[in-house]
Structure 1
């Protein structure tokens, strides 16, 4: 059992026909708890019915609630979710909400210092107050996992650069890493010296064209001094880079219902296996299976039994 802290937003995902409790840090925390870890969440909710519902839900699922702060002025978070015909989600995130005002205190410091892993994302840094708390905790966290999880317009490339440099492990999806690497290359280019075609050639010659995720991973690892990086590729699986070695999973076939929370469960599964000393290949295979099963289920946090995950992996291998 590992002691893990998740930091950031908790909220209600509001679908056209129903509402579900979510937020990437909470989704990760709930899945990590299901894998038998000691999990806490640092967040803030409103003093309202929505906040009460989230608090009780977290408590019922065994995640520690002693670092959930209550805001008497701001409402609990809500996100409007729309799904396209393929089940992919787009989000409208209300601002400001209670989780934008997480306040640093002694309890948060003590919890973070003792954690085996501290997991954070970019969205939690959209407001000055929570951002300041996050960076203070990153200075004392022993092992830091950055789930990039871009949500426009709530990030800048400068903020992402700072968050990446704090991390020991970074998880991207393929669109995110290409966007960030391209920005880093173009920022370094002197536009008085190079035209657009020449900059494109620079990216190609550096092996950083969009077809080369591996090149992008190595570029990020070098320029942020990050030892471990993972990139998810949707239905095509994922790539894990650690100890200067690449590990691959080509994905599992499944009928997608919605993608909400699939990446969060993937990260939780990968974190669980790696922290507990499993081989990187086993870890990425397991994580891809968990992410696929969640994508084939309704909502972000379906119940998953270990036997069902194992059965899914075995059936996929034998197909």
Structure 2
């Protein structure tokens, strides 16, 4: 790419306790990693505890060359028990009152946020008012041109209408899956087909782009003027951990590069399908190699 774009994931940073052992987890780190795999500079704004698990996370972030805007706080580093179903789809048991509920915004982070091309945030890290206020404040430090990506990421009961509404108002790019669309349609009273709902959201919240992922049933990308649908590639699934985050990271870099909507979509679908063939959320890869294998 001509410019090395700078993107930051904001929110939960934790250990996914998988059947095969713990792995670095949290949508913001996954997003930053996959954007970085596409040639961007990735960063993460979060918090970990003053404990050995926090030390390990910081070491891992450094090894991945992801910029750290991570505060150390007097709460335990977050962990999530992950159980995989037979089809590789994960279920989560997310511990509360942990470090990423208490994210702080230091002066260094404020300066970095002035420079970013995109930030990504979800609903999960906004379950506690401290991190919710920090995320809102962080978005206010970004430029007008910055892409503000709301990857909804509903988990357990850690969300409410007020937080979702505020986040929709703050973002200019939205990613949602079909199950989340059902939940929020009931919550907000959205009517019509899935496509009609997405077109409504684009106009109502003045979004630059909206992604709707539907698991095995394909995915859509929308702008105010265009629409793209692609089927989900048939691959041998190891697990689906991080697949959605890879879709988001690749999609955002494609948008920053001003690629055609269809090309952005194909890149995002191909990478997310590849991630499903590997265990864990952050396998290493080369886009050209993936495109040789997965309908790119």
TM-score normalised by L of structure 1: 0.87
Provide closer, same or farther for how the CA distance between residues 178 and 223 of structure 1 changes in structure 2, counting only shifts above 3 A: farther
Hey, what's the Cα distance between the residues in 2 that align with 1:45 and 1:100? Answer: 9
The answer to whether the 8 A contact 1:181-1:220 is kept is no
Show the 5 A alignment for 1:20-99: 20-65=23-68, 67-71=69-73, 73-99=74-100
Shift of 1:17: 3.5
For 2:122, the equivalent position in structure 1 comes to 121
CA distance in structure 2 between the partners assigned to 1:222 and 1:281 by the alignment? 20
The DSSP-based 3-state class of the residue aligned with 1:145 is: strand
Q: How does 1:237-256 map to 2 (within 5 A)?
A: 237-256=218-237
After TM superposition, the runs of 4+ consecutive aligned structure 1 residues lying more than 3 A away are none
Distance 1:289 1:239 in 2: 14
Aligned to 1:160: 164
Consecutive unaligned residues in structure 2, runs of 5 or more: none
152, 155, 171: which one aligns with 1:148: 152
Count of aligned pairs between the two proteins? 290
Post-superposition offset of 1:176:
0.8
For residues 114-146 of structure 1, what are the alpha-carbon distances to aligned partners after superposition, in whole Å with 9 as ceiling and x for unaligned?
Answer: 111111111110111111111112223232111
Normalising by the residue count of structure 2, what TM-score does the alignment of the two structures yield? 0.94
Distance of 2:127 and 2:20 partners within structure 1: 28
Which residues of structure 1 form unaligned runs of 5+?
187-202
Distance of 2:290 and 2:217 partners within structure 1: 18
Deviation by residue 1:266-311 (Cα, 9 ceiling, x = unmatched): 1111111111111110010110010111111111111112232121
Deviations for 1:234-266, whole angstroms, at most 9, x for unmatched residues? 122210011321111112110111111010111
Secondary structure of the 1:302 match is: coil
The alpha-carbon deviation at position 16 of structure 1 amounts to 2.9
Residue 299 of structure 1: aligned partner:
280
- Which residue number in structure 1 is paired with residue 110 of structure 2? 109
Structure of larger gyration radius: 1
Distance 1:233 1:128 in 2: 31
How far does residue 112 in structure 1 lie from its aligned partner after superposition? 1.2
SS of structure 1 residue aligned to 2:67: coil
Q: 1:217 aligns with which of 182, 193, 198?
A: 198
